[in-house]
Structure formats: C-alpha cells, structure tokens
Structure 1
C-alpha cells in the first residue's frame, strides 16, 4: 500500500505523519482485521515506538486514533529499519507540545510489544501476510491449537486404534482419510469457516461449494451442518445474492459438449463505474468444465477488439472452439464476427431477442461475478478491476453443482495450491493421472446430463413465501429505491435489516425505515426476505455505538464521507456513520460537520482537484 499525503495531512506534525501509516493500513484492511479470530502483527521498529509506551498527553487527532486502535487485537513485532526495505514505519518520533487535555494515556500498552527481532523468528516478505492463510503458514497458530485440543479427543483416539487405515496421527495432528481432524472447539472451527467463506479468494460461496472447499483439508462430524448454518447466517450473502425463483416455463437445456473448451459462451457486464479506464467485463465460459476468464474492457468494444481479446485470453490457452454462444450485441452479431467464425469453422448460436435465458449459463455467471464484486469493492465502486482476478480464481476453484468437480480439476487434473495447511497426499504417476482425469470428465458429463433433467423437473415447482410476524427482521429488495452508489449493478441487492411493524392486508407489511428515507413504508411480501440470524461469533456484528453528547446535543461519529452535492447556496456531504449500514447514509450540510475534518480531508484527497 502506498498513498500520497493530502494537503491537510502534509501539515501534520512529524510524529502524527508516522503514526498515520499504521492508521491508514488498519483502515484499508479493516474488513480483514476487525473480525480476525487471531491476533495479527504489525512489523515496525520498537525503538521508534518508545514514545507511545509511556503515558502521554494526546492531541485531538491522536485521541481519535487511540480509540480506533482499541478495536483491533494486534502485536507489534520488531524489524530494524535497515532490513525493512518495504517501509520504515514510525521513525524519529518527536515530543509534542504540552497542554491540559488527554494526559496520561498509553497509546501502545506494554503487552502489545513482543520480543526483538534477534530473539524472534526470521522475517519474510511481509507483503505476503495480507491473507490470513499466509498468517497460518507463518506461525501455525491453528495447527498448534488443534494439537492441544486433540489430546482430549478420546473418542477419536479410540477410533484411531480400531481403524488405523482410516484414522492416524502425524506430528500430533490426527488425520481422518487424509484430512485434518478438527477437534470439538468452537473457536477453531469458527476460524476455519470464516477463512473459507469471508476471505477474497473464498468469495462467500454457497453451502455446496464451501463444503467441498473445506473438506479438501479438514473434517469434523458436524461439518456439513455447521457450513449450512454459517452460510445461512452470513449477512453479506443475504444482502447481495440473487434469490432464484422458478419461472414455471418448460426448460430445454443446450446439448452437452464432449470435452473442455469445445463450446464456449461469451457475454458482457456493463456499463460499470470507470476502474483503471475500464467500464465493462467480458465473461468467457467453457460450457464443459465451467471454467471462466474475466477480461476488463470498455462498452465501446468493437468486433475487432473482441477478436483480439479472444486471441489473447482463450485461443492461446485452449485453442479454437467448435461453437460460440452469445447474445445479439453488436460486438457478437456483426458481419465481421460472422465472417471470422465461418472462416475458422466455428458455429455461432445467438440468443433469442429480449430473452437472455437462451444463454442461461453465462447470465447465471454474470450474477455470481456481480455478487462477488459487491462483497469486496469500495463504496465508489471504482476498484472492481483489482478484484477481478480474485473473482476468476474463486469461481474456477469451486465445485460446480452440475459437474461435481471444480473447473480447475476438469481442465488440469489437479487443484491449485492456495497456501492451505497441507495434508499428506499420494503422488500418482503420469499414466494414472491421465486415466483419472478421463474418468472424472466422463463422470462430469454424466452429472451434467442428470443436472439437466433436474432443471426440467424444477421448472414445474411452485414457490411459496413464508409470512412475517410483527418484530421480525427482514431484508428489503432495492427495486425502485434510489441508490447513492455510482451504479445499481454493483450495489447491494437488498437493504436492511428492517423491523416489521405490522401486517397491512394479506400480502403487505409496514417496516421501520430510517428517518432519512422519504418513501412509503409499506411493501409487498415479494420485496421482503426474512433475515437469518448469525450463529457463529465471527459473523456477529457489534451493536451500533450510541451517540456522543456534545454541548447537550447527540453527535454520531463519521466513518467516511462518500459524496457531495450543492444544495441551494451551500454544500451537502454524503456521510457514512461508524457502526451503521449503507441504508443509514445521509446528506448533511457541510456546516454541521465541524468535528469531522479528518474524514473531510481524506475525501478531498480523492477528488481530482482536491476541492469540493
């Protein structure tokens, strides 16, 4: 991470500038660090932090930072400045001036410091430690906890004696059929579930895909039930995922290809907010293995541009397909594409006008990509290109319901290594690997044929919504509700949760909405979905903080300023309040935010000219 100081930040005292590096890093990776089940480490020079190890007078800015630091559970680890080639954090702190405010405050407690570098383990490139899995590899915290707990697993130890071919021990870790047995410890299991669901390379998968991912490495008796409960209680999934209800129309799935990349489908997602000068995504899907390639592009894409993308992203890796399925966009339906496909011997299938379900696979894929991006992009939605490689990897590494395998495995015969805790595996010969891959592909084709039959049967099923009771919490579909985000395509699918006040008629309900919403508060049941409460500690969110009382008036803390507009002769700022959801964002006059200069300075720094 690197960042140029804003105009206001350049005026900070030198010690505030140096402490600012830690503060900005915590803010940037807040969504990883705040819910971390283990202590994380900040690598810096202990000598330069001695100033904050003693009781000090803090200025107003440092006092705010002090409160923010209390939210995190971290340790400071020593690294000499001469070996810290990435950054020399918090160097040459100087004494601030004295006053009567904020005296006797220890910014960093003694217990937050750990031993010096010469007494500790070697340091590797700390940029690798951005992911909690790499943190596990660095100190094996989870494995150590598993070792300690498994000494008390008497039932499993007895099973190990009876079935040594299925259950065995290696270096204090119990394995069951090649997977690490996770003891009956809620903290450890919660950590594993959080890591396989909430992290960017996990991407908030559903129950089926998450189960397959976790079971590659771990096992415990209630693993399936726990994963189902975890997915059901994830508020990010409840807000962002598309709810699919059958259309009661007879389905006629397309024929199944015989091998990977024999048939592909292509579509475009856009327009999106500009991100690195791109405003659209080309989605390319292999109809056999379900592998995808995601390419950032522009809505002004021509047929020639599309041909170039195909050459760079598909042809050089997978060769020429026999059939391409797409919609009737000008890039796909042009004379140029028709001539090109004819010359290469490629059959073209264009979707029926105004009926994207002709290529339902790619339309479903688009929904999954949008769901993934909603979970991780920033509020301005202008960093989606950063997350696109992770979205592609996330999908290609997850088991597809139609094939029963991951796209990676169907293409290459193995799963990519992601830095997981490894387990003992066999090393098959090249011949057996080829035979296994052929068998897996045959099984995948049979699974897709079975899945097509299930799709036809499900098309005749009916869907009934459960009624809501007074006091229930519900999600509200964003349909017809104004959004402050740049594009609705990447905004949450649902807002909330909101409390049901009472039922109005047979199918409508009155909700308790934020005071700033100037809309009718009665909604049809088709727009409402019941909230599933989280059941795991890592999913539970703290209650929004109460307001401070300043000059006998309530005042809430500003976490971020997200936009501005002119209103009459003044300026209003779109404020996101700390501890509250996006639905509580509100437009506040500039004059009413006298105590939010830091948030305002950060917002101005993001503007082209640095001014409102």
Structure 2
C-alpha cells in the first residue's frame, strides 16, 4: 500500500544493507562505551542511544532525522510538566497544525530529497575515482571465480570455483552453476565475483571432463613437484587410481585434508628425517642427555642419603 519494495540482503554481504549495518555498529559502540564494564545493564542504554542518533545532524541531508520525521525540533532535557502547550486541539490550532504539515510536504521534504540526491551523486563521483565500477552485468555463460567467504586463515584459498553465470536476480545479483551444472545454493553479488573467461570465449573452449575426488591416499616427489595418488569417487578399483599434480585440482581442499591426515591433524608436526645418519645422531644426543640427567639424579640421591645418615 505504501509502494515499498521489500528486498532481502544476500548472505555474507553486509554491503548490501550497508546503511543499517553502519547504524547498528554506531549503536553498539555507543552502548559499549557507556557500560564501563557493567555489561548486564546494556538494555538501559538503548533508549538514550537511539535518541542521540536521532537528534544528530546527518551528513546526507544536513538535518536531524528526528526533525524530519516529527516535523519539529526535539525537546531539551528539562521538566515540561508545568509548561502550557503552544498548540491544542481547538479549531484555530488545528489549522496551524495542518498548515505546518502542508509546508513540510510541499517544501521541506522535496528540499531534503534534493539534498540527498546531490550528496549521493558527489559521493559516487568521488568513489569512482578510486574504485572500479561496472556499468554492465557480466554476460550469461561467462566463467567466474567467487570470494571464499568461509576463509579462516591466510593459507586458505581466496577464491573458489570456477562457476558459470546462469542468470540474474531482480536485485542484480548472479545465479551461478558449478562444473556439474548444479545451482549454487546462494546468489552472489558483483563485488564477490572475478571474471576469468567471457561467454564468447568460453563457447569456443572444449569442455574437459571433471571427476569428483573421494580422497588422496599417497604422494611422491618433492615440495616443488609433488604428485598425489587420487582415489576417485565411484572408482574403487586400484587400477583406476591416478597420479595428479596440484594444478590438476579445481581446489586445494583435498590436498590440505591429505596433509592433515598425514601429519595426524597436526599442522606443526616435525618433518621426517632426511637421512639415517641424521636420525642416529639425534638418537645419540638423546642418549647422552639422558645419561647426564641420570648422573645428576644419582648424585642428588647420594647427597640426600648422606644427609640422612648424619
């Protein structure tokens, strides 16, 4: 009835609802500073924090949000119980209220809208000077990579994929499919996409067959040229296992899982000994230290026994 288009923000995309997220951050920071260590009283600061945000002058339209909504300035922190109201519900005062509302709708709100549009245009022009802005959507059928939103460490992959653009939503986000033509479970915004091949170029490329990895079971070679023995999903015969290099995988996930299993899920495990002599030297050193510690313990025991005898 109000002409409002209800839209939902995309998961892992706070910039899609940036204004709300920004004000949530402001409210949280104000409340945390007001608590002064007494965390149980956070709800007592909600109303004053909201009032402080509503009476603050906005950069967007150079006015207070409170004044725009209620068409008047906020009251000061004073006792108004004994103050006579300036307006009442009498017929003459009703006309004043009507005239004030008409002035707000015909003059104030249009001027506020003009200021908002001017500020947004200036901000966008300044943003375009330092950022790449796409004027058109990536074409359907293009190959893309997407930001790995589940990245937990610097060693995890920054991008996952590749995916194919299947279509667009009404909010100008992308519908993607994987190599098996399965739809991605979520829609992806433009800022999380990196184009790797346009639709025109991808049509001229012969599609390679891709198989799903069940597990990596062995490796050979050195750190520069590791090869991995792959057990493919659905191929249980050992003759179907093949040696693959790291570049043959669409993702390094199974390689990381293999090394975690190989090291007992201990990423800081000590490397294997390079030579037998190196291992013997280590063992000899351990025996030497063990004998030294045993000598110290024995001497301490002798001193203790001598003291007890005295």
TM-score by length of 2: 0.34
Larger relative contact order (Cα-Cα within 8 Å, sequence gap ≥ 6): 1
TM-score by length of 1: 0.18
Choose between structure 1 and 2: higher helix proportion. 2
